[in-house]
Structure 1
Amino acid sequence: MVQQIARDTITPFSQKLNHPLSKNQITVLQINLGKRCNLACNHCHVEASPKRTEELTPEICDQLIELIHKFPQIKIVDLTGGAPEMNYGFKPLVEAARLTRKAVIVRSNLTIYFESGFEELPEYFAQHQLRVVASLPCYLEDNVDKMRGKGVYNDSIRAIQWLNQLGYGINPNLILDFVYNPQLPLTESFSLTPNQAKLEEDYKIFLREHFDIEFNQLFTITNLPVGRSKLHLQRTKLYSPYLKFLETNFNPGTVEHLMCLNELSIDYLGNVYDCDFNQMENLPAQSRTGEKLTVTNLLETGNLDLIDEIRSASYCYGCTAGCGSSCGGALV
């Protein structure tokens, strides 16, 4: 028993670092528009589904539009969910960001294009030159459908071909990236994400040969023990061993590239977090005086850079294990 406790004891992430995790100037605004989604993927850290109703309110949407207009230091507006396209405020936020010449990322599940009322999305994306970061956790049908639901793979392929016809993955102004997630573990035979460059090559060869598909980059992302991934690990009694595995593979070289350093994550209620994972674990960002921050605070002070130190937790080992992991894939 003592050996088991010792084996599973996790060093607090803040103690692993030789220095506080300090915020840089904010250049990325990541907005989680809500938990509404047409899918309910088994690894979703947001725990989104068709049954969820939480979404952005008109008041918070207006504040975010004001924020986008007010701060030229924001270079990227990153829209996520749920399926961001299904939630209130998606198009107004897109158009505010493009009007102010900011790049816009939409984190799309691809299958949303075949839902009633959303069929015009690919053309809308192309019109506004949105960067599409699409979930495609494997290039093989069986693996995708196990993670995301029966038929999702075939719908995803159809959606990608549609995007390709519009120039995505081909026109340099229409960027199409894919996200790889590993299968959730069933035993303690854990593994890190594969080499990103090699796996991207494998994706490109397979998808080109079988479906005549083109895309730009592949991002390999580690499953952090948050949301449904956390629930799965707890059910299978793998939560502590998985955290220990991530800690054992901690790579200090990833820390200076972490996505939380220069971004603010905003939820549908207007609360501010250091990253999307902290948002899902209800670990709000704090000002220098220990105050929880909201979009209202940012507007009233006229300052996005109110955070000195990033709040961390044990799941941060998921972003710093091996080659690292972020919304933009491997870090080193």
Structure 2
Amino acid sequence: MIPVTLTSFDQKLGFPLTKQPITILQINLGKRCNLTCNHCHVEAGPKRTEELNHELTLELIELISRFPQIQTVDLTGGAPEMNYGFKPLVEAARSTGKQVIVRSNLTVYFVPGYQEIPEYCAHHQLRIIASLPCYLENNVEQMRGKGVYQDSIQAIQWLNRLGYGHTPELILDLVYNPSLPTTEKFNLPPEQSQLELAYKQYLKQQFDIDFNQLLTITNIPIGRTKFYLQHKKLENSYLEFLESNYNPNTITQLMCRNQLSIDYQGYIYDCDFNQMENLPARSASGKILTVSDLLAKNNLDLIETVQTASYCYGCTAGCGSSCGGALI
């Protein structure tokens, strides 16, 4: 339940949040993952079976190939590498000169059947954005499970040996998330460039690891994060904390404005968070949109206004937060 003291995001904004020309296609390939992280907004895990099918994969390949305005294809999950359609979508996007982002948990490289993924990513020059929510072992394992930290370190070292973090075409970025709160003493992510320096110094000294950028992402109160906050009776106060840190200067940079998020069934959303909260994007006439609609209309820009909700305060608090890290 949204607290009565919370201003609706639309009211706070004061004007419709309009869509810009689409340049990023973010595709959630499915919910299968080898981990069950306690902050996962997708609620992914080893027992989840939802994923793309063959017909939708072909539609997405057509979408990627038809529209040169798409500059980036952003593949996420679950563990995108484990879900149907991963390699065909990578190869369709790279064959048309688009950047491909793979959002990796790193530990998937050690799952039988996926050990060739690092070399595959390097061969196709994929940008890897990898979750490492802290540079300290205890904090990572509290969020992601025992053994995850050491596997992640070994995976980054593997990527470094392939040229990631060193070769300009092989970009490796890491993602920081704050620990989930236990009291009403909430925190936004620290200043991104300063935290990046701390990550780089520690990981280089301890493990001889290099990477390109650190991306700081606020915990958005949806999925397992929302369930956790509700269990701790902290959801309402966390939303109020986010609103109290609302920064209007973040609005022009919000990822939802130039991106489409697509789920494993082919429905369109303004962002991955709306996808997980089942808040679909709509055309100007109010129609819920699918990949088939975009192809039929031969147009990616059918959405006029972004669908918003109370958790949008997470993307607009402090320095802002997006799939690409801090906004300002």
What is the TM-score of this pair, normalised by structure 1?
Answer: 0.98
Would the alpha carbon gap of residues 84 and 148 (structure 1) be closer, same or farther in structure 2, given more than 3 Å must change? same
The aligned counterpart of 1:61 is 57
Give the gaps of 5 or more residues in structure 2: none
Deviant stretches of 4+, over 3 Å: 5-8
CA shift for structure 1 position 324: 0.2
CA shift for structure 1 position 36: 0.1
The 8 Å contact of residues 13 and 314 in structure 1, kept in 2 or not, is answered as: yes
Equivalenced residue count is: 328
Matched, 1:295 2:291: yes
Secondary structure of the structure 1 residue equivalent to 2:260: strand
Residue type at the aligned position of 1:280: M
The 8 Å contact of residues 8 and 240 in structure 1, kept in 2 or not, is answered as: no
The 8 Å contact of residues 75 and 103 in structure 2, kept in 1 or not, is answered as: yes
Matched, 1:24 2:20: yes
The aligned counterpart of 1:179 is 175
Quick one: distance in 1 between partners of 2:93 and 2:189?
Answer: 33
The 8 Å contact of residues 8 and 241 in structure 1, kept in 2 or not, is answered as: no
Quick one: distance in 2 between partners of 1:155 and 1:52?
Answer: 22
The aligned counterpart of 2:118 is 122
Secondary structure of the structure 1 residue equivalent to 2:250: helix
The 8 Å contact of residues 29 and 52 in structure 2, kept in 1 or not, is answered as: yes
Quick one: distance in 1 between partners of 2:126 and 2:139?
Answer: 28
Residue type at the aligned position of 1:331: L
The match for 2:305 among 289, 304, 309 is 309
Matched, 1:233 2:229: yes
CA shift for structure 1 position 156: 0.2
Quick one: distance in 2 between partners of 1:275 and 1:11?
Answer: 21
The 8 Å contact of residues 33 and 79 in structure 1, kept in 2 or not, is answered as: yes
Quick one: distance in 2 between partners of 1:228 and 1:9?
Answer: 24
Residue type at the aligned position of 1:142: N
The 8 Å contact of residues 23 and 308 in structure 1, kept in 2 or not, is answered as: yes
Secondary structure of the structure 1 residue equivalent to 2:261: strand
Quick one: distance in 2 between partners of 1:52 and 1:192?
Answer: 30
- The superposition leaves residues 88-121 of structure 1 with CA deviations (integer Å, 9 ceiling, x where unpaired) of 0000000000000000000000000000000000
Secondary structure of the structure 1 residue equivalent to 2:293: helix
Secondary structure of the structure 2 residue equivalent to 1:310: coil
The 8 Å contact of residues 3 and 236 in structure 2, kept in 1 or not, is answered as: no
- The superposition leaves residues 121-160 of structure 1 with CA deviations (integer Å, 9 ceiling, x where unpaired) of 0000000000000000000000001100000000000000
CA shift for structure 1 position 7: 7.7
Correspondence 1:153-172 to 2 at 5 A: 153-172=149-168
Secondary structure of the structure 2 residue equivalent to 1:229: helix
The aligned counterpart of 2:192 is 196
Secondary structure of the structure 2 residue equivalent to 1:132: strand
CA shift for structure 1 position 191: 1.2
The 8 Å contact of residues 8 and 244 in structure 1, kept in 2 or not, is answered as: no
Give the gaps of 5 or more residues in structure 1: none
RMSD: 1.1
What is the TM-score of this pair, normalised by structure 2?
Answer: 0.99
Quick one: distance in 1 between partners of 2:54 and 2:312?
Answer: 32
CA shift for structure 1 position 192: 1.1
Quick one: distance in 1 between partners of 2:164 and 2:4?
Answer: 45
Quick one: distance in 1 between partners of 2:2 and 2:74?
Answer: 40
Amino-acid identity (%): 69
The 8 Å contact of residues 138 and 181 in structure 1, kept in 2 or not, is answered as: yes
The 8 Å contact of residues 106 and 133 in structure 1, kept in 2 or not, is answered as: yes
Quick one: distance in 1 between partners of 2:107 and 2:20?
Answer: 36
The aligned counterpart of 2:267 is 271
The match for 1:217 among 205, 209, 213 is 213
CA shift for structure 1 position 18: 2.5
Quick one: distance in 1 between partners of 2:61 and 2:2?
Answer: 49
Secondary structure of the structure 2 residue equivalent to 1:143: helix
Residue type at the aligned position of 1:98: R
Residue type at the aligned position of 2:27: I
Residue type at the aligned position of 1:321: A
Would the alpha carbon gap of residues 207 and 293 (structure 1) be closer, same or farther in structure 2, given more than 3 Å must change? same
Correspondence 1:96-135 to 2 at 5 A: 96-135=92-131
Correspondence 1:35-114 to 2 at 5 A: 35-114=31-110
